[in-house]
Amino acid sequence: GESVGLHLPTLSVQEGDNSIINCAYSNSASDYFIWYKQESGKGPQFIIDIRSNMDKRQGQRVTVLLNKTVKHLSLQIAATQPGDSAVYFCAEEGGNEKLTFGTGTRLTIIP
């Protein structure tokens, strides 16, 4: 039969604006979270991580927020650039090196 592809949420943002990508995770025992960026034809690229004993972590132009109460993770990208266009994945790890990935969000930056 016909295979149904994953429906990737999409987000379009004007260049220079800030973007927020959200992710709900499933395992309340997960204690480590990573955001990845994947460009077409490439492997996922590590952006930023956060441990469960933190609720916010900042990098260069990126901020990750963790809300353990509602099992929610978000990635904020400041002053978006055309090179930020990609699919963004959140991943959770429960301490055994096995990452469980979300379905991903396709971010498109509009020049």
Binding to another protein, residues 45-84 (CB under 8 A): 45-46, 49
Q: How far is CA 82 from CA 2, 19, 61, in A?
A: 34, 12, 14
Binding to another protein, residues 24-43 (CB under 8 A): 32, 34, 36, 42-43
Selection from 19, 53, 111 nearest residue 9 by Cα:
19
DSSP H helix total and E strand total for the chain: 0, 10
Selection from 75, 85, 86 nearest residue 109 by Cα:
85
Whichever of 10 and 103 has its CB closer to another protein, that residue is: 103
44 scored as a contact of another protein (CB under 8 A): yes
CB of 14 to another protein, least distance (A): 28
Whichever of 46 and 54 has its CB closer to another protein, that residue is: 46
Would you tell me which residues interact with another protein (CB under 8 A)? 3-6, 32, 34, 36, 42-46, 49, 89, 91, 95-101, 103-104
